[in-house]
Structure 1
Amino acid sequence: MTEKGWAVILGVSSGFGAAVARQLAGDGFSIFGFHLDRRSTMPKVDALKAEIAGLGVRAEFTNANAADAEVMEEAVAAMREVVGSRGLGSVRILLHSLAFGNLLPYFPDENDRSVSKRQLEMTFDVMAHSLIYWTR
């Protein structure tokens, strides 16, 4: 199979991110995948990584908070090393499929419970702002 380059998938371990990773790998893209999983769900992540590698492309996964600036900086440096200095293609696709939030109401309920400013800002940082930071 001819490799088409790399796809960076933020939120690769399940749902839309995992489905797109499978499809892109089947189409010849190697995958840089970022996920935030606990030990109990790691077998599922390991199986996905093996499935992708079994399609004849590379699968480089990182279990870390992709919305964290330090993680992002280290990840970009590592991707540059793999892609640039080793001559292994280029990043062609960025998929943002991160999810974070809570189930508290926006407006206080009868018990005066509602999402806090900090919780709301963190939700937007993960699910919206991080796309801009990764794109830069």
Structure 2
Amino acid sequence: MTEPRTAIVTGAARGIGAAVAQRLASDGFQIAVVDLDESSCAATVDAITSAGGTALAVGADVSNEEQVKAAIERIAAELGAPTVLVNNAGILRDNLLFKMTVEDWDLVMGVHLRGSFLMTKYAQKHMTEAGYGRIVNLSSTSALGNRGQANYSAAKAGLQGFTKTLAIELGKFGITANAIAPGFIQTDMTAATAERMKVPFDDFIKFSADQIPVQRVGQPEDIAHTASFLVSEGAGFVSGQVIYVAGGPKD
């Protein structure tokens, strides 16, 4: 990059989002660290700035159109027009179908699908004007179906179709769109799943690792490495793809 590009990472206060934000900062991007609560972004921003990078904490509910518009405008004004977007923000409201409430369905759809749509809708304007852009959406192996996650699985599958459509519509403007589908990644979110299942997290990790060909669970940095490639200059001929980062094949 001849001059620093601005990258937005949503859900970047912790977990995968924080790891992606820090990795892209080390790659030379200026990072907008977006999460629901601006103060929760402090640790990620501090990690980036202490390593010599540039980061801005931005509080926004990605499912709220006005908040998204305001966030994108602020990022463009304070860091520069964003040409990289990583839609990572997500929540869990797991339950078996007959126990799942309409509210829990709507909340998950709102953050994952509506949130990714809104962030992309308002960020792509800056990308099309620049004639360059990289969009990465976080899907999941749960897109293939997972007990107790009808809402989450549907949302993550939806993101794959969304990604492929973005690639078709935006390609002529120099914009690529790809999705990463993580398998088991050791984060607060998977810890919450273990708690819901009433299984000690260490046991949950060991059991999960035994089912994975590489015999370990993933770390947020595994996803960050993949995101780093997809947003790079060299990945310009990779678009509309879903990359499963799960320690083995998923199909």
* TM tier, smaller: 0.7 to 0.9
Cα distance between partner residues in 2 of 1:91 and 1:20: 16
| Residue number in structure 2 paired with 1:25 | 25
Which residue of structure 2 lines up, in the alignment, with residue 73 of structure 1?
69
1:104 aligns with 2:102: no
Q: Is 1:132 aligned to 2:117, yes or no?
A: yes
Match of 2:103 among 98, 111, 118: 118
Q: Secondary structure at the match of 1:131?
A: helix
Shift in Å at residue 70 of structure 1?
1.9
Which has more helix, going by share of residues? Answer: 2
Structure 2 unmatched runs, 5+: 122-251
The aligned amino acid for 1:75 is: A
Give the count of matched residue pairs.
121
Q: What secondary structure does 1:92 align onto?
A: strand
**Cα distance, 1:27 vs. partner?**
0.9
Q: Which residue in the other structure is 2:243 paired with?
A: none
Q: TM-score, with normalisation over the residues of structure 2?
A: 0.44
Q: Name the aligned partner's letter for residue 126 of structure 1.
A: V
- 2:46 is matched with 50
SS in 2 for 1:79: helix
C-alpha displacement at 1:3, in angstroms?
4.7
CA distance in 1, matches of 2:100, 2:38: 25
SS, match of residue 135 in structure 1: helix
The structure-2 alpha-carbon separation of the partners of 1:93 and 1:36, relative to structure 1 and needing over 3 Å to count, comes to same
Structure number with greater CO (CA < 8 Å, separation at least 6) is 1
User: Displacement, 1:82?
Assistant: 2.2
1:29-50 residue CA offsets vs partner (Å, 9 max, x unmatched): 01111113597xx4xx423211
Identity %: 23
| Structure 1 vs Structure 2 CA RMSD | 2.3
| Aligned pair partner of 2:58 in 31, 39, 62 | 62
Letter in 1 for 2:66: E
Tell whether the 8 Å contact from 1:3 to 1:30 is kept in structure 2 after alignment: no
C-alpha contact 1:33 1:60 (8 A) present in aligned 2: yes
Give the TM-score, by structure 1 length: 0.76
| Contact kept in structure 1, 2:8 and 2:32, CA below 8 Å | yes
Amino acid at match of 1:128: L
Q: Moved runs in structure 1, 4+ residues, more than 6 A?
A: none
CA contact (8 A) 1:3 1:57 kept: no
Question: Match of 1:34, SS?
Answer: strand
